[in-house]
Amino acid sequence: MNVLTGRRILVGVSGGIAAYKTPELVRELRRAGAEVQVVMTRSAAQFVTATSLQAVSGNPVRDTLWDPAAEAQMGHIELARWADLILIAPATADRLARLAHGFADDLLGAICLASTAPIALAPAMNHVMWQAPATRRNLELLAADGVHLIGPEVGDQACGETGPGRMSEPADLARAVTELLAQGLEGTARAPVHSIGQNQPLLGHHVVITAGPTREAIDPVRFISNHSSGKQGYALAAAALAAGARVTLISGPVAESVPVGVTLVAVESARDMHAAALTAAPGSDLFIAVAAVADYRPSTVAEQKIKKTDRKESGLSLELVENPDIVAAVAALPDAPVVVGFAAETHDALAHARGKLSRKGLDAIVVNDVSRQDIGFGTDENAATLIWADGEITLPKQSKADLSRAILDTLIELFMPRFVRQLANTNPDNAAK
Ligand code: PMT
């Protein structure tokens, strides 16, 4: 028997162009055996008719709190109690904002507030709206309330642009609802469960990434640095953003463009990066140190340009002092996030990386061979081994974007329970549950 057989799904339709797909969604749910009631908002009626939704659901469609006849048959409180699960598809940016703040000034809002059933949202909106800071904030509130997210997908949009914000297809939504009900969450109080959407497993989580080189000043015109281009760190930031995370990217000087939606903290020296990391990391879920940090800096910085005539017979000597170890300092924080380092090695790579994993107190480390010309520093491709306490995975040569997705997928698989716990810890309401 299908998980959906006999399950009562309340489908909420808000006012976006994707509402034209809702009749097909209702058909999918009913084909799988679910009972469906539809509640639509006033603006949804601009995109789909109540008549078609009534025909496919087999039930009258409700669209207002102020219909005495309908309320007499099944009032909004009864509808709220009736549902095993509420699925809002499409969920517009406005609907997310209303839900996040508990508005109950229309039927759909009142039902969501009055129900203890799990709520799943299928967002659909323009990609800039999806990535807007206000939408991100609302999504974090909703994720902390245990609301589930299905999608959205990346692709062509009704506005003619391309990006994340397309509503998932009806068949995928029906599959995700089945998965959700199969987890046995119906009828339970909402827990701080992460998104079940395929694309947004990091929704509600904060990822901090360091990237690029640092520059250690010798005098006003010279510095010590390395060949890091920032490509690997920026690709990881884009991958974390696409996975739904709020991303802070602490970057040394590079020529890469910052992905829209990522918060950049631009730094120069290792000490700047250390200070920025210790500001951003507390309360975050995942810290990934991709930066090639200079281990040493000149003990003094000459105030004026050093002249050739300043050197002694034997040449010019620079005295170097050690820089703070940024990733080790983050790993030593009380309530540290999951901390992942990178190891740039030229020989005995795995052994050296394992040493760094334990010396720096890391949860995992990504080791890459920087003696090769085709991967590592400055290249568009990379290959790596991801190592953690009791396992490792070899990730073959691929674009830095693909490698970043593969690294994140593995980290999510290994550490998601810790991310969820951290989300609960930072939300006193959830911690009490
Ligand atoms: O930027 P690209 O051109 O794309 O190149 C990518 C890369 C080769 C720089 C990247 O994949 C990589 O290997 N980054 C780590 C570089 C490095 O400094 O490795 P390491 O083995 O010296 O350091 C180990 C770890 O400690 C790293 O996570 C590093 O960020 C961190 N560290 C090191 C020194 C220090 N003072 N503080 C630190 O946090």
> What are the structural domains of the chain?
8-195 (3.40.50.1950), 206-297+318-431 (3.40.50.10300)
- Give the pLDDT band of residue 307 (cuts 50, 70, 90): confident
Q: Ligand 1 in contact with 368 (CB < 6 A)?
A: yes
- Three-state DSSP class for residue 390: coil
Q: Is 112 labeled as catalytic in the residue annotation?
A: no
Atom of ligand 1 at shortest distance to CA of 370? 8
**C-beta separation of 173 from 124 below 8 A:** no
What percentage of the chain exceeds 70 in pLDDT? 91
**C-beta separation of 347 from 432 below 8 A:** no
**Average per-residue pLDDT for the chain:** 89
pLDDT digits (tens, 9 = 90+) for 57-109: 999 999 998 888 777 777 888 999 999 999 999 999 999 999 999 999 999 99
Name the residue at shortest CA distance from atom 17 of ligand 1: 292
At which residue do the structure tokens 């009142």 appear?
Answer: 110
Q: Ligand 1 in contact with 293 (CB < 6 A)?
A: yes
Q: Ligand 1 in contact with 234 (CB < 6 A)?
A: no
Its sign, for the CA torsion 417, 420, 426, 427, is negative
- Give the pLDDT band of residue 281 (cuts 50, 70, 90): very high
For residue 114, how far is its CA from the centre of ligand 1 (angstroms)? 50
Q: Using the predicted structure, report yes or no on whether residue 190 has a pLDDT greater than 90.
A: no
Q: Ligand 1 in contact with 292 (CB < 6 A)?
A: yes
Name the residue at shortest CA distance from atom 35 of ligand 1: 325
Atom of ligand 1 at shortest distance to CA of 353? 21
- Give the pLDDT band of residue 423 (cuts 50, 70, 90): low
Atom of ligand 1 at shortest distance to CA of 378? 3
Atom of ligand 1 at shortest distance to CA of 226? 9
Structure tokens given for 429: 């309401």
At which residue do the structure tokens 């949860």 appear?
Answer: 363
pLDDT digits (tens, 9 = 90+) for 154-164: 777 787 777 67
Q: Ligand 1 in contact with 326 (CB < 6 A)?
A: yes
Atom of ligand 1 at shortest distance to CA of 232? 4
Q: Which residue has the higher pLDDT, 394 or 172?
A: 394
For residue 291, how far is its CA from the centre of ligand 1 (angstroms)? 5
**C-beta separation of 362 from 331 below 8 A:** yes
Q: Ligand 1 in contact with 120 (CB < 6 A)?
A: no
Sheet with 35-40, edge to edge strand ranges: 35-40, 8-13, 85-91, 119-123, 148-149
For residue 420, how far is its CA from the centre of ligand 1 (angstroms)? 27
For residue 244, how far is its CA from the centre of ligand 1 (angstroms)? 25
What is the predicted pLDDT for the residue at 394? Answer: 97
Which of these is catalytic: 104, 159, 254, 320?
159
Q: Ligand 1 in contact with 270 (CB < 6 A)?
A: yes
What is the predicted pLDDT for the residue at 421? Answer: 58
Q: Ligand 1 in contact with 89 (CB < 6 A)?
A: no
**C-beta separation of 327 from 353 below 8 A:** no
Q: Ligand 1 in contact with 252 (CB < 6 A)?
A: no
Alpha carbons 15 and 381: distance in angstroms, whole number = 43
What is the predicted pLDDT for the residue at 407? Answer: 98
pTM, two decimals, is 0.66
What is the predicted pLDDT for the residue at 311? Answer: 67
Mean of pLDDT values over 148-158:
79
What is the predicted pLDDT for the residue at 368? Answer: 97
Runs of H (alpha helix) within 192-230 = none
For residue 292, how far is its CA from the centre of ligand 1 (angstroms)? 4
Q: Ligand 1 in contact with 214 (CB < 6 A)?
A: no
Alpha carbons 188 and 147: distance in angstroms, whole number = 13
Q: Ligand 1 in contact with 378 (CB < 6 A)?
A: yes
* Nearest CA among 389, 398, 333 for reference residue 357: 389
For residue 342, how far is its CA from the centre of ligand 1 (angstroms)? 5
- Give the pLDDT band of residue 23 (cuts 50, 70, 90): very high
Mean of pLDDT values over 165-170:
88
From the CB of residue 86, how many other CB atoms can be counted at a distance below 10 Å?
Answer: 24
**Interaxial angle between packed helices 400-426 and 231-242, expressed in degrees from 0 to 180 and rounded to the nearest 10:** 50
Atom of ligand 1 at shortest distance to CA of 367? 13
Provide CB contacts within 8 A for 317, sequence distance 6+. Answer: none
Mean of pLDDT values over 326-340:
97
For residue 293, how far is its CA from the centre of ligand 1 (angstroms)? 6
Q: What is the DSSP string of 103-129?
A: --SSHHHHHHHH--S-EEEEE---HHH
For residue 324, how far is its CA from the centre of ligand 1 (angstroms)? 13
- Give the pLDDT band of residue 310 (cuts 50, 70, 90): low
